Amino acid sequence: MPNSAIPGVFVILDYFGIAVFAISGALLAAEKRQTLVTFIFFAVATGVGGGTLRDLLIGAPVFWVHSNATLLICIAAALIVWLTSRRRFAGRALLWFDAAGLAAYATYGSAKALSFGVAPVPAFAMGVLTACVGGIIRDVLAGEPSILMRPELYVTAAALAAGLFVGLSLLGVAAWLAAAIAIPAAFAVRALAISRGWSLPAYRD
């Protein structure tokens, strides 16, 4: 992809990922029985956290600073959770929705990094950071165990999406096709973790 050129389909992936993680942040605020202000704060921090770090590292304008859409999506997510019974979102339904967002956001993060001329290995890392940092921030703010400290296949799924997208792009595969392969593959790994409890082996002395 040419420098700084992001295909339109990837903008949709970006908004989808933001919405999913903003909802997850607001849901955690609901579990803690917080105020609406905290709902919005958690939604924004979770929704933009990974993308903000990515943009700072690759030298891109921070994506939500020059657009109204991102913060409006986060605020809307917080309001939806605030006005709707948490039971409609909680449980395995949210896990499946989150799995789709994780795969999409990891792919988008790598695509944006490549479009700004980032080398392949750092672009892979940017995809993982984009998908995972928001959740880490959310958990730290809420005093919950970080996803990095859990054995479940979560970060691994993000790494698969980012790695496949970068690898296929290096082979000359069109961006949309690389994304169409990477996203379902990562979603499948996360789906197996959800449905069968798959996890990475823990260190043993």
Tokens 């859990």, residue located? 150
In a domain, 2, yes or no: no
In a domain, 1, yes or no: no
Q: Within 10 Å of residue 38's Cβ, how many Cβ atoms?
A: 19
Q: What is the mean pLDDT of residues 1-15?
A: 67
Q: What is the mean pLDDT of the chain?
A: 87
In a domain, 166, yes or no: yes
Under a CB-based contact definition with an 8 Å cutoff, are residues 147 and 49 in contact? no
SS (H, E, C) 68-130: CHHHHHHHHHHHHHHHCCHHHCCCHHHHHHHHHHHHHHHHHHHHHHHHCCCCHHHHHHHHHHH
In a domain, 205, yes or no: no
- In this predicted structure, the answer to whether residue 13 has a pLDDT above a threshold of 60 is yes
Number of domains the chain contains: 1
152: three-class secondary structure by DSSP? strand
Under a CB-based contact definition with an 8 Å cutoff, are residues 65 and 95 in contact? no
Report pLDDT for 4: 47
Q: What is the mean pLDDT of residues 83-104?
A: 74
In a domain, 66, yes or no: yes
In a domain, 202, yes or no: no
Domain that residue 68 falls in: 8-196
Chain segment 157-189, per-residue pLDDT in tens: 999 999 999 999 999 999 989 999 999 999 999
Q: Please tell me which residue, 13 or 77, carries the higher pLDDT value.
A: 77
Chain segment 38-73, per-residue pLDDT in tens: 999 999 999 999 999 999 999 999 999 998 999 999
What's the predicted TM-score (pTM) here? 0.86
Round to whole Å and give the CA distance between 38 and 44: 10
- In this predicted structure, the answer to whether residue 143 has a pLDDT above a threshold of 50 is yes
Under a CB-based contact definition with an 8 Å cutoff, are residues 63 and 14 in contact? yes
Find, among 27, 73, 21, the residue nearest to 50 by Cα: 21
In a domain, 201, yes or no: no
* Six token digits for residue 29: 């605020």
In a domain, 3, yes or no: no
